[in-house]
Copies of this chain bind each other. A is one copy, B any other.
Amino acid sequence: MEETTPELLPRETVLQIRDTCLCLAAQRAARRLARRFDAVLRPFGLTNGQFSLMVALNQPDPPPMGRLAPFLAMDPSTLTAAVKPLARRGLLTVEPDPDDRRSRLLHITPEGVALMRQAAEVWRSAHAALDAQLPSGLPETLRQGLAAVAAAPPPAPLNPGKDDL
């Protein structure tokens, strides 16, 4: 009797997705890097994402959430949530923009700066170690490529189209 193999996707399809999907490749790399930097930042009680957010607050003028979300390529609601543990710890404060009370400005606190001074040191050495671990030239290439991907506009969302009708 022939054992009928259970029906699956064509093998070539599976291999194509597995080997070429940029989304999958990006998620994997992002998870690995996240764990790596989470580990070195753990002594400061920061995750890699919190670190990136805090870095972005080091500007003369406190940035509004509406600018940070696009910069981090995250949904506004994600930023709202991300800010809470940091505000709770007193590393930043959220203040309405006097010139537009819808907008909220994120101020880094002195405690936040103090913590970031140390965290930035650790970041530096951790990133140097990562660079040293990768084939020469790859870091720059990757940065460029990832930036291009992050900048690529989403495909026209096939939506009702405010233009039609």
Task: Give me the interface of A with B, judged by CB distance under 8 Å.
Answer: 5-9, 11, 13-14, 16-37, 39-40, 48-49, 52, 55-56, 58-60, 72-75, 108, 110, 113, 116-117, 120, 123-124, 126-127, 129-130, 133-135, 138-139, 141-143, 145-150, 152-155, 157
A95 and B148 alpha carbons, distance in the complex (Å):
42
Please tell me if the beta carbons of B36 and A154 are within 8 angstroms of each other in the complex: yes
Please tell me if the beta carbons of B52 and A21 are within 8 angstroms of each other in the complex: yes
A147 and B32 alpha carbons, distance in the complex (Å):
11
Distance in Å: Cβ of A43 to nearest Cβ of chain B:
11
Please tell me if the beta carbons of B24 and A52 are within 8 angstroms of each other in the complex: yes
Which residue of chain B has its CB nearest to the CB of A151? B32
Please tell me if the beta carbons of B117 and A9 are within 8 angstroms of each other in the complex: yes
A35 and B33 alpha carbons, distance in the complex (Å):
19
Which residue of chain B has its CB nearest to the CB of A139? B22
Distance in Å: Cβ of A86 to nearest Cβ of chain B:
16
A129 and B22 alpha carbons, distance in the complex (Å):
12
Q: Are A133 and B113 CB-contacts (below 8 A) given A23-B33, A138-B145, A143-B22? A: no
Please tell me if the beta carbons of B48 and A23 are within 8 angstroms of each other in the complex: yes
A36 and B22 alpha carbons, distance in the complex (Å):
11
Please tell me if the beta carbons of B23 and A34 are within 8 angstroms of each other in the complex: yes
A29 in complex: contacting residue of B7, B138, B146, CB < 8 Å: B146
Q: Are A127 and B73 CB-contacts (below 8 A) given A25-B143, A113-B7, A155-B36? A: no
Residues of the B chain whose Cβ atoms lie less than 8 Å from the Cβ of A74: 31
- Which of A29, A74, A108, A130 counts the most chain B CB atoms within 10 A? A29
